[in-house]
Structure 1
Amino acid sequence: MKNALIPGLSRRQFLQVTAGGVVVSSLGAGRGLAQGYEDTFTWISPRGTLEVLDDYGFWIGKKMGYFDGLDVEMQPGPSDGTATVKFVDVGQADMGFPSPGVFSFAIENGMDLKSVFHMGALDTFSLAFRAGEGPEDIKGVEGMTILLGSAAWQPIVDPMLAAQGVDISTINYVEAGWPTWGTALAAGQGDAALSWEGLRAEWISTGLEFEYWLGVQNSPLPANTFVVRASDLEDPEKVAFLEQYLRGWAKGLEFAQHNPAAAVEAVFDQFPTLASNLGPELGLMSIIQQMNVFRGDMSQREGWGWHDMSSWQTFFDLSAEIGQNSEAIQATEVCTNELVGPANDFDHAAVKAEAEATEVSDELAAVDVEALKASMFDQAI
């Protein structure tokens, strides 16, 4: 398939060019199956990079063979916060990982996308403040300057604050650039900065010590999700492929619950620079924060990726209320749980046994995981 935006470039070449030359990380390209898809099935990041722990479900799944036989690849994409939906919409990628705000932007702008696997069961987003400067009440952010890595992130923050009764018309947003917006906060260039679970640990590794108002503790809203073109769900071959692909993710997430150190090691094996930057303890701290978001309260969910439609409707109603969308989006029209059952149809006991039997490096094995879990919210205000 040729790129619709730059004639003569294949989809993969287009993604590489727009990602600024970042090396593509792929699995089985040209060897496996992408039923119903003309090209390798491509997942695109919302961050402009893959060198993070956020996608650990895929990397441990790849290592354990959960995606074997599938022709799939991971792409970093551009750092533009809306690229993850734009590229899926025009066929330059097949699955994106937008925040709810970026997803609602896509729907508002006529992109016929559908959420098929809700990764972020809890709100991963937070606001970082310099130590001692966070407000006692989140309404204290009124009148403050909040730093963002991308202007496209404002639709993340506005609903999160509006849900807490904050007058968002008083907020001043400044695009401080990726990946420097945290450094800008430390340098005094704003009052707060958007952050998220997992990134908190990464910022510590670079010497950025902040305190946080945590959405995972306080927000009723959902977080990032996997979206595809709605038309793909009308093609039985594509649906069968998606079920198998999402099963690989679900198994990877399940594996990590039983052996987070092995999941960290799988990501570190893929990205040695990330390993050297974070190290074992911060790597495990990052993944534990994200595991909490991705799992949520599984007693209230019907498996990995399950959408809580009431949570999504709360977000869409709020988004319309603050003018982010012209009218309230109906959650059941743009989110579906039809693939969640098939994605979770695997031998959970076998995955647990695989996880518990997997050995890790001495350095990772030496980290006290339970102590990290106990300290997960130590930076909260």
Structure 2
Amino acid sequence: MTKDNFIQQAGMSRRTFLQVTGAGLVTATALGATGLRARAEAYGKFTWISPRGTLEVLDDYPYWAAKKAGYFDGLDTDMQPGPSDGTATVKFVDVGQADMGFPSPGVFSFAIQNGMKLKSVFHMGTRDTFSIAFRKGEGSNDLKKLEGKTILLGSAAWQSITDPLLAAQGVDIKKVKYVEAGWPTWGTALAGGQGDAALSWEGLRAEWIAKGLDFEYWLGVKNSKLPANTFVVRAADLEDPDKKAFLERYLRGWAMGLEFGYQNPRAAVEAVFEQFPTLAKNLGPELGTTSILQQINVFRGDMDKRGGWGSHDMASWQGFFDEIHKIGQITNPVKAEDVCSNDLIPAANDFDKAKVKADADGVKLSEGFAALDVEKIKAHLFDSAVK
């Protein structure tokens, strides 16, 4: 699909371009036997693709923590950044160039609208991670004040995130203009006086501070009932017993990584920093820990009411699908249970939590991380929220 066709289908006439992102490609993964344990050969090397065009972020900390701890149990796994086109994470899974993607609900709806036979199998973002950034002194908790204003996006595809977020808060989205300011420069564009606000998310808030971008935020994690990003696979893979067994083992690794990060967030940050030294240099221990704590809040949610890591709240998802149908983002109603599945969640959470806690507690932290007061950081996680 061309960018023009996508724009037409997504109804993006209210958007102008500052930068056009290239389509980009990742190399198709080779399938075949790789000497894995029983049933693991279902995929060969299993490829997960990012929605952001980069892996040098803290968002994927459960994977890097789990990989370091050996929780993927011999599975042959691969992480790909993908192109910065916001819809690539679903397109590549659909055509078999990746096996699992991590789209926002809005981009997942783009896949559904365009007939991609994908299913959400592990809901990472149980709370709404998305926020609206404003220059200091210009923010408001009443998003209806954005009518007649301009919101900056890093990718055209992000309109599918922002429209339902705004509509759910009573905004007439036909009165909002979007400008695609490019990845990763849309935050800098806001700081430089372009536009009135910008889309952001948890974790990124801390990363923007590291870049000198000091904003105030309307926080979805505090004010929105919509879901956030999720893991999707081809629906047909769930009908293949070998692939389903592989997915259960693979997602168990992610669930163990999530538990590890919850038990020792500083150790999880260090696992990512070891993988990406430039990110470590840019963020440092305190902002890195701040970023991961923001994300843990999104990923964990109210665990007492969940079926474990990755469990879908079907009521939240149904509310999202009803909202985007109302605003015309999808043409036909969608039943959450038809496109979201909790079938893999019991097996994904079938691990020894006491062992993971012992593993996390047993990590010897570097001096910079050991000196941090995690509880103090938690107490200031939302200081940048609009007052």
Q: Are positions 1:127 and 2:132 aligned together? A: yes
Asked if 2 retains the 8 angstrom alpha-carbon contact of 1:19 and 1:48, the reply is: no
CA gap 1:203/1:30 in 2 versus in 1, 3 angstroms: farther
Aligned equivalents of 2:43 and 2:51: distance in 1? 23
Corresponding residue number in structure 2 for 1:195: 200
Aligned equivalents of 1:205 and 1:20: distance in 2? 29
2:65 to 60, 74, 80: 60
CA gap 1:239/1:38 in 2 versus in 1, 3 angstroms: closer
Corresponding residue number in structure 1 for 2:336: 331
2:46 to 25, 35, 41: 41
Shift of 1:368: 1.2
1:298 to 297, 303, 316: 303
2:121 to 107, 116, 121: 116
Corresponding residue number in structure 2 for 1:177: 182
Shift of 1:31: 5.7
Shift of 1:328: 1.7
Corresponding residue number in structure 2 for 1:363: 368
2:291 to 283, 286, 292: 286
Residue type of the alignment partner of 1:46: P
Aligned equivalents of 1:318 and 1:42: distance in 2? 32
**SS, match of residue 80 in structure 1:** coil
Aligned equivalents of 2:325 and 2:227: distance in 1? 16
**SS, match of residue 337 in structure 2:** helix
Shift of 1:30: 4.9
Shift of 1:84: 0.2
1:9-48 counterparts in 2 under 5 A?
18=24, 30=34, 32=36, 35=40, 37-48=42-53
Shift of 1:18: 3.2
Aligned equivalents of 1:222 and 1:292: distance in 2? 13
Aligned equivalents of 1:91 and 1:136: distance in 2? 42
1:1-381 counterparts in 2 under 5 A?
18=24, 30=34, 32=36, 35=40, 37-381=42-386
Can you list the C-alpha shifts for 1:157-199, whole angstroms capped at 9, x where unaligned? 0000111111111100000000000000000110000000000
Aligned equivalents of 2:25 and 2:280: distance in 1? 22
Corresponding residue number in structure 1 for 2:18: none
Aligned equivalents of 1:31 and 1:215: distance in 2? 44
Can you list the C-alpha shifts for 1:233-262, whole angstroms capped at 9, x where unaligned? 000000000000000000000011110000
Can you list the C-alpha shifts for 1:271-322, whole angstroms capped at 9, x where unaligned? 0000000000000000000000000000110100000000000000000000
Residue type of the alignment partner of 2:63: F
**SS, match of residue 178 in structure 1:** coil
Shift of 1:32: 3.8
Count of aligned pairs = 359
Shift of 1:37: 3.5
Shift of 1:153: 0.3
Aligned equivalents of 1:38 and 1:246: distance in 2? 14
Residue type of the alignment partner of 2:238: L
Asked if 2 retains the 8 angstrom alpha-carbon contact of 1:118 and 1:226, the reply is: yes
TM-score scaled to structure 1, two decimals? 0.92
TM-score scaled to structure 2, two decimals? 0.90
Asked if 2 retains the 8 angstrom alpha-carbon contact of 1:31 and 1:71, the reply is: no
Asked if 2 retains the 8 angstrom alpha-carbon contact of 1:31 and 1:69, the reply is: no
Aligned equivalents of 1:200 and 1:121: distance in 2? 18
Aligned equivalents of 2:35 and 2:160: distance in 1? 39
Aligned equivalents of 2:42 and 2:316: distance in 1? 32
Residue type of the alignment partner of 1:236: P
Asked if 2 retains the 8 angstrom alpha-carbon contact of 1:19 and 1:76, the reply is: no
Aligned equivalents of 1:171 and 1:281: distance in 2? 36
CA gap 1:31/1:262 in 2 versus in 1, 3 angstroms: farther
Corresponding residue number in structure 2 for 1:6: none
Segments of structure 2 that go 5 or more residues without pairing to the other structure are 1-22
Aligned equivalents of 2:337 and 2:260: distance in 1? 30
Q: Pairwise CA RMSD of aligned residues? A: 1.6
Aligned equivalents of 2:101 and 2:180: distance in 1? 23
**SS, match of residue 378 in structure 1:** coil
Aligned equivalents of 2:377 and 2:36: distance in 1? 39
Aligned equivalents of 1:136 and 1:67: distance in 2? 42
% identical equivalent positions: 71
Shift of 1:135: 2.2
Aligned equivalents of 1:375 and 1:31: distance in 2? 48
Asked if 1 retains the 8 angstrom alpha-carbon contact of 2:40 and 2:242, the reply is: yes
Aligned equivalents of 1:45 and 1:200: distance in 2? 19
Asked if 2 retains the 8 angstrom alpha-carbon contact of 1:142 and 1:170, the reply is: yes
Aligned equivalents of 2:50 and 2:35: distance in 1? 23
**SS, match of residue 179 in structure 2:** strand
Aligned equivalents of 2:176 and 2:26: distance in 1? 32
Aligned equivalents of 2:377 and 2:338: distance in 1? 39
- Larger mean CA deviation between 103-112 and 127-136 belongs to 127-136
